[in-house]
Amino acid sequence: MDIAEVRDRAGPREFNAGDDMPEEYREAATRMIQFHANSEIMGAYLERPFVRQAPSLDRKLAFSAKVQDEIGHGQLLYRAAESLGVKTRDEMLDELANGEGKFLNCFHYPMDSWAETPMIAFFVDGAAMRRQATLKSSSWEPYAHAMDKVCFEEGFHVKHGEDILRELMNGSRKEQRMVQDAFDEWWPRIVQFFGPTDDDSTHHGFAEEVGLKQMTNDQLRSAFLNAYVPKAEQYGLEIPEYPRIEERDDGTYEVRESDLDWDEFFAIAKNDYEPGVGQIDGRARTQEAVEWVRGVLDEREQAAGTTAAAAD
Amino acid sequence: MIWEVFRQEAAGDYHTHCGNVHAPDREMAKQFAVIQHGRRKPAHSLWVVPQDEVAEVDEDEADFGGSTDKSYRWAMTYNDVEPAAREVADSEAEQAEAGADRGDS
Ligand SMILES: [Fe+2]
Ligand SMILES: [Fe+2]
């Protein structure tokens, strides 16, 4: 299939491993899905300490279920990416460990206190879900199928995250202040979640033309602000003055891009931002520590392979 | 030799199990599957898999989800908040439906 035909046919769930897709499509899809898979893994590592630090048994159970889900999402997505035939799962995991693998800006920042958890568990998961719901219509069928399961599970994450926010904002004055401080710190990063405005986004045009993604950065950011700004206000959070956000007459939002720190954003995009580097290395060490498990699995697979071959 | 058949009704759908066929090899299995399972019902694609290659684990052997109370992992549990967005509400509806199918109270 050539690119012209791909553009022509690019509807929801249109292509799968049985189609002969051009290199350009397979590479763009791999880049996008690998980024998504990496983000699930790095997000899980960021939240993992809160299984231990959760303030109650219910929260502990919910956090451990959520972290487990996120690792599962990573696995589903590496499979969807692998099905493009560009990179194997092992290659992608190695790239994540050696600092080549890219992932969401928000997961490059450290998260230290319980009061910060709604920033990821509610706002970032909520933002991710806005995007993921649209990706159910991606033209790469294995990606869309992965999104079915991810979106099925994510409703729990977002509502649980909101429940933590609700609880803290109805708590002591100290708790409320800590959440507001966390919000002030995280808000600009969350606004940057969807990337720079469409004019500056390098990969957007092609991915949309071939149906890999359905909505632009700006549309998604607007949809996010529409749903989540009222939520923040409902719980008594004050939206920081910067970045300045103006609502247009048609209900969409315009973010003053110059109010955001794009140097930091692009340093992060290159995996050059310090806390993120530490988080990448931390995960690499964990991966290293369980190398023996993969070794055992590989041995079993090889042993099974020889017996199967002998039986033929 | 028996081959299990999975039918996909329309492009983008899941392949779901719909029956099996007798066939001596993969090529014949594909042909028989087309004849038996691809003609009466809408079919966009079929998969055939040797029955021997299908491994089963059933509810006698495995605790699917177990009997422990896991309400903490469902959106319906968090009733003090309204879904923030349509897709959150959709997810909750799917989870509620799955819960009803599992026979959760
Ligand atoms: Fe996830
Ligand atoms: Fe999540």
Look at A13 and B12 and tell me if their CB atoms are within 8 Å: yes
- Give me the CATH code for the A3-273 domain, please: 1.20.1260.10
Q: Give me the pLDDT at residue A204, please.
A: 64
Q: Locate the domains of chain A by residue range.
A: 3-273
Distance CA B71, CA A251 (A): 37
- Taking the whole predicted model, whether its pTM rises above 0.95 is answered as no
Distance CA A62, CA A114 (A): 14
In the DSSP assignment, the letter for residue B80 is: T
pLDDT > 70 fraction of chain B, expressed in percent and rounded: 97
- Per-residue pLDDT, averaged over B61-84, amounts to 88
pLDDT > 90 fraction of chain A, expressed in percent and rounded: 85
Angle subtended by helix axes A125-135 and A217-234, to nearest 10:
140
Go through A189-220 and write b for each residue having 16 or more CB atoms within 10 A of its CB, e for each that does not: bbbbbbbbeeeeeeebebbebbbbbbbbbbeb
Q: Give me the pLDDT at residue A248, please.
A: 87
Distance CA A86, CA A31 (A): 10
Q: Give me the pLDDT at residue A64, please.
A: 96
With CA atoms as reference, the chain A residue closest to B69 would be A61
Spatial contact of A237 and A180, defined as CB atoms under 8 Å apart: yes
Cβ count within 10 A of residue A109: 20
- Per-residue pLDDT, averaged over A278-290, amounts to 94
Task: Give B80's contacts in chain A (Cβ within 8 Å).
Answer: 163, 166
Residue B67 vs residue A105, higher pLDDT: A105
Q: Give me the pLDDT at residue A291, please.
A: 92
Q: Give me the pLDDT at residue A173, please.
A: 97
At A173-219, the pLDDT tens digits run 999 999 999 999 999 999 999 998 876 656 568 999 999 998 988 89
Candidates B15, B52, B68, B72: best to mutate against A (most CBs of A within 10 A) is B72
At A99-137, the pLDDT tens digits run 999 999 999 999 999 999 999 999 999 999 999 999 999
CA A199, A200, A201, A205: dihedral to nearest 10 degrees?
Answer: 40
Q: Give me the pLDDT at residue A211, please.
A: 95
Q: How far is CA A253 from the centre of its chain?
A: 22
Look at B84 and A13 and tell me if their CB atoms are within 8 Å: no
Q: Is the pLDDT of residue B67 over 70?
A: no
The minimal CB distance from B72 to the residues A61, A132, A231 is found for: A61
CA of A123 to the centre of ligand 1 (A): 13
Give bridge partners of residue B17 from the DSSP assignment. Answer: B6
Q: Give me the pLDDT at residue A250, please.
A: 86
Phi, psi of A212 (to 5 degrees): -65, -40
Both structure tokens of A237: 């959070």
Both structure tokens of A131: 């995007």
Closest CA to A68 of B71, B76, B73: B73
The minimal CB distance from A156 to the residues B45, B84, B95 is found for: B95
At B23-38, the pLDDT tens digits run 999 999 999 999 989 9
